[in-house]
């Protein structure tokens, strides 16, 4: 593992991600290319009032505040049957223990018991410690089969904007940070309905998750440092707008589905592949695929990398609390379940 590679990488990722976006925008399938969407055009506020959700004059930037009274959040006005969801995000700095900033897709408002979800969840940390985050997915209410991975980052996410992207097609899911595909899930037939398959909306929230976010709840939100502000800008929504209640067998989404299969974000270069590998070897410290206590037989989509298995073992799996919590994303109406508390070490 080579630090230099990552330093170079982080310097070039901003321009690279812009390039990717531009390539996607100017791609051959120009019918409705990925585009930056203003708040007014694409989103509605969920909670936080006028004081905790602030929009820029050009309406392309949103500031979400968390203070002792409330957090803030918004969601896309439409639901999408597959899509590319993306934003440039800057996280709160300094003491951020207990704070969760979530950027995710879900349909929990519509399908309470059988919801689908794809998550980026940033988990705060005490002063001087790096932000940690996790990605996860649920399909058709598979909340008892979490597929969490946890990582640190190769940069300080509170210092500058970085682009976070979720690509969801009928055959795969890719989580991106800038130009680096940090996680790819290929749909395997054995996954069945655990692979998200119903239209979802995009959500972005900041909230107090003192009970579990940082080191399994050891460090709480300290409002002496409030307000905690996360900034989100240049939001991209590109997918087939769908009514989740309608018959999903109609073919109206075929064209966009096809586009999603061929856009730049769905075509990982060799260079990106090695960046993925480097990222996972160096920054991933937990993966459900290697958690044999929890899953004696890894779920079907897991591709076990012997090197990673060895490393995660050598580094020791974080202690697991076998506590099952239900956490409500306060105010967002979305009941999501962080069923598995991964107790990060200090």
Q: Catalytic residue numbers?
A: 117, 121
Q: Which of 20, 101 has the CB closer to ligand NAG?
A: 20
User: With binding defined as CB under 6 A, does residue 262 bind ligand NAG?
Assistant: yes
User: With binding defined as CB under 6 A, does residue 267 bind ligand NAG?
Assistant: yes
Handedness of CA 145, 288, 117, 69 (dihedral sign): positive
User: With binding defined as CB under 6 A, does residue 45 bind ligand NAG?
Assistant: no
| 187/213 Cα distance (integer angstroms) | 29
Instruction: Give min distance, CB of 149 to ligand NAG, in A.
Output: 24
Q: Where are the beta strands (DSSP E) in the chain?
A: 43-47, 53-55, 61-66, 72-76, 80-90, 99-106, 117-122, 133-138, 149-151, 162-168, 172-177, 180-186, 201-208, 228-241, 284-287, 327-328, 335-336
Report the site for ligand NAG in 175-204 (rule: CB under 6 A): 193
Instruction: Give min distance, CB of 198 to ligand NAG, in A.
Output: 9
Of all residues in this chain, which one has the CB nearest to ligand NAG in the complex? 193
Q: Which of 117, 208 has the CB closer to ligand NAG?
A: 117
Instruction: Give min distance, CB of 199 to ligand NAG, in A.
Output: 14
Instruction: Give min distance, CB of 267 to ligand NAG, in A.
Output: 4
Q: Which of 195, 288 has the CB closer to ligand NAG?
A: 195
| 322/238 Cα distance (integer angstroms) | 38
Q: Which of 7, 262 has the CB closer to ligand NAG?
A: 262
Question: Which residues have a Cβ under 8 Å from the Cβ of 189 and sit 6 or more positions away?
Answer: none
| 9/30 Cα distance (integer angstroms) | 30
Report the site for ligand NAG in 114-173 (rule: CB under 6 A): 114, 140-141
DSSP letters, 205-240, are EEEE-TTTTTGGGTS---GGGPPEEEEEEEEEEEEE
Q: Which of 116, 231 has the CB closer to ligand NAG?
A: 116
| 263/300 Cα distance (integer angstroms) | 27
User: With binding defined as CB under 6 A, does residue 7 bind ligand NAG?
Assistant: no
Instruction: Give min distance, CB of 82 to ligand NAG, in A.
Output: 16
Residues that bind ligand NAG (CB under 6 A): 114, 140-141, 193, 262, 267
């Amino acid at each position: 593992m080579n630090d230099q590679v990552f330093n170079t990488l982080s310097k070039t990722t901003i321009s690279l991600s812009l390039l990717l976006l531009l390539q996607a925008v100017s791609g051959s399938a120009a019918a409705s290319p990925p585009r930056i969407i203003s708040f007014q055009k694409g989103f509605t506020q969920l909670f936080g009032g006028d004081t905790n959700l602030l929009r820029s004059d050009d309406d392309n930037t949103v500031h979400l505040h968390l203070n002792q009274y409330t957090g803030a959040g918004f969601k896309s006005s439409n639901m999408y049957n597959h899509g590319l969801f993306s934003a440039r995000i800057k996280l709160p700095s300094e003491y951020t223990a207990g704070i969760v900033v979530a950027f995710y897709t879900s349909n929990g408002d519509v399908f309470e018991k059988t919801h689908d979800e794809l998550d980026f969840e940033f988990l705060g940390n005490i002063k001087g410690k790096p932000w940690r985050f996790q990605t996860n997915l649920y399909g058709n209410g598979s909340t008892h089969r979490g597929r969490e991975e946890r990582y640190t980052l190769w940069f300080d996410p509170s210092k500058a904007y970085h682009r976070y992207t979720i690509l969801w097609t009928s055959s795969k899911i890719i989580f991106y940070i800038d130009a680096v595909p940090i996680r790819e899930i290929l749909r395997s037939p054995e996954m069945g309905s655990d692979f998200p398959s119903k239209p979802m909306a995009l959500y972005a929230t900041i909230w107090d998750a003192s009970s579990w976010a940082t080191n399994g709840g050891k460090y709480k939100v300290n409002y002496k440092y409030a307000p905690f502000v996360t900034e989100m800008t240049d939001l991209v929504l590109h997918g087939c707008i769908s009514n989740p209640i309608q018959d999903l067998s109609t073919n109206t989404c075929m064209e966009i589905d096809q586009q999603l299969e061929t856009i730049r974000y769905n075509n990982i270069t060799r260079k990106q592949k090695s960046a993925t590998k480097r990222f996972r070897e160096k920054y991933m410290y937990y993966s459900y695929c290697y958690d044999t206590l929890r899953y004696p037989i890894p779920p079907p989509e897991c591709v076990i990398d012997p090197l990673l298995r060895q490393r995660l073992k050598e580094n020791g799996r974080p202690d697991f609390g076998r506590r099952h919590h239900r956490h409500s994303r306060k105010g967002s109406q979305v009941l999501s379940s962080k069923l598995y508390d991964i107790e990060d070490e200090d």
